[in-house]
Amino acid sequence: MKSFRKELWFNLPERMALENITPQVEQCLAESGIREGLLLCNAMHITSSVFINDDEPGLHRDYKKWLEELAPFDASPERYHHNRTGEDNADAHHKRQIMGREVVVAVTEGQLDFGPWEQVFYGEFDGRRKKRVLVKIIGE
């Protein structure tokens, strides 16, 4: 069995953004040479996310609106106890919890074994600084 590890780095200019990273993940798979196995892709920061869904702009707008309704940005320490530490990103921690930390995708015949419309996304909820995503692939 072989294993492959690579870090993808992102520095998105918006506080909240959703970016399709499927091409970068597919490039990692090609570099790995693994034809059968599993691919793990996870956010390495607690205010960002990796998830699978459809690459449809209306859905992305809906996600942003929904997440902001569930955990609105509020830098004050009154709404979120976490902001009493001097941070202003408590909402981003909540958004990440909702959207998830990682995805696992089967690798079959050297391809990501997706269902219809599935794509891998990086979700940023406290942007404007450099963050990384881990891609780990194991198999043969």
Q: What pLDDT, in 10s, does the model give residues 46-59? A: 999 999 999 999 99
Q: Could you state, in order of their start, the residue ranges of all structural domains in the chain?
A: 2-54+97-139
Give the number of other CB atoms < 10 A from CB of residue 33. Answer: 12
Q: Which helix (H) or strand (E) holds 102?
A: strand 102-108
Per-residue DSSP letter, 107: E
Q: Mapping DSSP to helix (H, G, I), strand (E, B) and coil, where does residue 29 land?
A: helix
Q: What pLDDT, in 10s, does the model give residues 102-131?
A: 999 999 999 999 999 999 999 999 999 999
Instruction: Domain 2-54+97-139: give its CATH superfamily.
Output: YjbQ-like (2.60.120.460)
Packing angle of the helix pair 90-99, 57-70 (nearest 10 deg) = 130
* 39 close to 107: Cβ distance less than 8 angstroms: yes
pLDDT digits (tens, 9 = 90+) for 66-108: 999 999 999 999 999 999 999 999 999 999 999 999 999 999 9
